[in-house]
Structure 1
């Protein structure tokens, strides 16, 4: 899952980026409110972690502007402003969660996963498409009850497809979800990962929609 981190404190931002990457998130980091608004308006992010005390443009103003433009990316506000009126204003302006610093990194990861699940209409922690089960927190996948070993990128690709079950995802959309800034993406990277997933899980686990992209069916039969 690719997320945007908007945090102007260099040490905190670097620590959050490194920690969230260890939890399996792809993280792009910006340090001011203007950059945060620009990237969220133009990028394909699964969620955002937004500080409020940002230079150039306050985080609440960024949030208000995004929601006014009908940009629905889930936003977790992470801030030192702990007064109740600040929390109320943040939530009323469209924040999906409001967390006061400092926060445990694993709690932050859990909150982000919860935001992403809800934004995709998934109520359960474990994702399921037919006989394929995926546990995001444990980063574990099973087929017919048997554990399947996947590489990091294979897991992330499967996660994106299962979050968007029954929806066709183009190669470009999948690349945007799997790779943060600074990664050089081979032209056939998605196809290679899909080939490996089909080999490890089932030849029909991922459907190709010719000329459009790829999809997984929530109720697929892999017998």
Structure 2
């Protein structure tokens, strides 16, 4: 479970970095952490586990991992029909290697050594052109459509939310196992000078529009996203 020191970070894109070079991985994670939430693993096995169980907006994968070719992970994703944007890192810079990687499902390539500014720019392009910025969140039988600020019922009916309601729901959906205190939700979705009762008010608004089980009250602690079934 992700530890949340600053709940506003939940609004940043979540990136999986798979890089076995300890120095390069540490530097890349440190630099990317200013703008993204970065999880760093050092081999393909750990990467496969993260890709299977984690929810990421993009992945940066080294081609030469100690236990496999990074392209195996890309092939796995595409075979499962997963369209997660993937940026490959590689020392293999021949046209044939790059074409093979793109043909196998990678979205872009950066060859080593690289300038961080180029990596960051290419990552921004991938995120901008993907569905990551238009993502939806399953909440039991319901779906939150973040970009359009709507909640879709199990029967396909869509319910419009206000910007404030949508911001609150997005924070809750970003870490579904976390119980958010009112202070965390206030800092992430509203103005920190607002009163704590603002959270209870907007939770009530969302429940009235949708269903009570969409947001669960954890007594004495706060709120977390639910999993209502109809």
Describe the superposition over 1:6-49 as per-residue Cα deviations: whole angstroms up to 9, x where unpaired: 00000000010011113x11110000011112101211111010
Residues 121 and 58 of structure 1, relative CA distance in 2, 3 Å threshold: closer
Which runs of 5 or more residues in structure 1 are unaligned?
123-160, 177-183, 214-223
- Is residue 190 of structure 2 the alignment partner of residue 195 of structure 1? yes
1:53 and 1:5 map into 2 onto residues whose CA distance is 13
Point out where structure 2 has 5 or more consecutive residues left out of the alignment. 1-12, 134-143, 152-168, 216-230
CA distance in 2, matches of 1:120, 1:58: 26
Q: Does 1:68 align with 2:63?
A: no
**Alpha-carbon distance change, 61 to 193 in structure 1, aligned in 2, over 3 angstroms:** same
What SS does the aligned partner of 1:55 have? Answer: coil
User: How many Å apart are 1:166 and its aligned residue?
Assistant: 3.5
Larger radius of gyration: 2
Alpha-carbon offset, residue 195 of structure 1: 2.3
- The answer to whether the 8 Å contact 2:146/2:170 transfers is no
Q: Does the C-alpha gap of structure 1 residues 74 and 196 become closer, same or farther in structure 2, counting only changes over 3 Å?
A: same
Residue 33 of structure 2 aligns to a residue whose secondary structure is helix
| Equivalent residue number for residue 220 of structure 1 | none
TM-score for the superposition, normalised by structure 1: 0.63
Q: 1:164 aligns with which of 115, 127, 147?
A: 147
Q: CA RMSD in A?
A: 3.2
Q: Kindly tell me: are residues 185 and 101 of structure 1, through their superposed partners in 2, closer, same or farther at Cα, counting changes over 3 Å?
A: farther
1:97 CA displacement: 0.7
Aligned ranges 1:3-22 → 2 under 5 Å: 3-22=15-34
Partner of 1:93: 104
Q: How many residues align?
A: 163
